[in-house]
Amino acid sequence: AGLSPERRAALGASLPLVQRDYRFERVWFWGCIQGVRGAYYIAEGLGPDRAAPRSRLYSLNCLDWSLLTPATKEMLALAEQVKGRFQGDPSFEYSLAEINAEAAARLIESGKEPVIKEEARLIATIEQIDRAVGIVPRGAFVKTPLGSVHENRHFEGLSLVEAKKLSSYFHFTEPVNLKNKTLLEKADLDPSTDFLDSLEHDIPRGSWSIQLEKGGTVVVLRSLLWLGLTFYHVPMTKQFGYVYFGTGEKNLDLPFML
């Protein structure tokens, strides 16, 4: 999976304009969700605080970008009910009456239509993927005493030995397991760099595949839970990132495949 030269050229021209128009500090190309009739190209805009909620935009042609609204709990719950491929049309409506009669009844009672638009499903899916498999190397970001998160200027990359370990990578989202650790376990952690959850305790175990490519000069992590997410890091350098090229469907069969 990848981008054609035309798409790359379009992104190279349009993303700097998005950064300027929306006044983002940085813009990342997040990836592509492939639908039946078209594809959604996703970008994320970042502000000074890297841990703050990110602004997300989508495009159908890599030139014209539309800002997505933030994901809500209700949106995430409804999107989990929808199964199957994306259509590639943001205005397409899924009927909840066919998917989940209880959820549809609740919406009718509250005076809302029992439908979910594909755009809402897209917002929820991007949020789910970022929470579950959006990762960064340990030490790439630091937390200030005031609570904001910034890129670590002193980060020079992981060593090759460290880069092969799952414990050297963190979920770049609100920590969950960290709060459950005992004081004894927290004693060895550096609060400025170890403020996120590491990948070593991810459930199900074995949901990450680590490979060395280009003669051991690039470490690649692939998620088996969200097929299509690939993270790379060049050891001893500041180069790292992840991209998603997939159908936007979670691999629910993974526990039976491991």
How many C-beta atoms surround the C-beta of residue 171 within 10 A? 21
Instruction: Encode the chain (258 residues) as per-residue pLDDT tens digits.
Output: 678 899 889 999 999 999 999 999 889 899 999 988 889 999 999 888 877 788 999 999 888 999 988 888 888 888 888 888 888 888 888 877 666 666 667 767 766 777 788 898 899 999 988 888 888 888 888 888 877 888 888 888 888 888 888 888 888 887 666 656 655 555 556 566 666 778 887 777 888 888 888 777 889 999 888 888 899 999 888 888 889 998 988 888 877 876
Given this model, what pLDDT does residue 104 score?
64
Q: Is the dihedral of CA 93, 99, 101, 106 positive or negative?
A: negative
Chain-centroid distance, C-alpha 229? 8
pLDDT given for residue 151 in this prediction: 83
The residues with which 218 forms a beta bridge, in sequence order, are 213
Domain spans in the chain, listed from the N-terminal domain onward: 5-68, 73-124, 137-251
DSSP 228: T
Task: Give the span between the Cα atoms of 148 and 153, in whole angstroms.
Answer: 15
The model's pTM: 0.84
Name the DSSP letter for residue 194.
-
pLDDT value of residue 101: 67
Q: Which of 182, 163, 146 is nearest to 235 (CA)?
A: 163
What pLDDT is attached to residue 245? 92
> Could you give the residue ranges of the DSSP H alpha helices within the chain?
5-22, 73-81, 96-99, 101-109, 118-133, 160-163, 183-186, 254-257
**CB contact set of 64 (below 8 Å; sequence gap of 6+):** 14
Say how many C-beta atoms besides its own lie within 10 A of residue 73's C-beta.
8
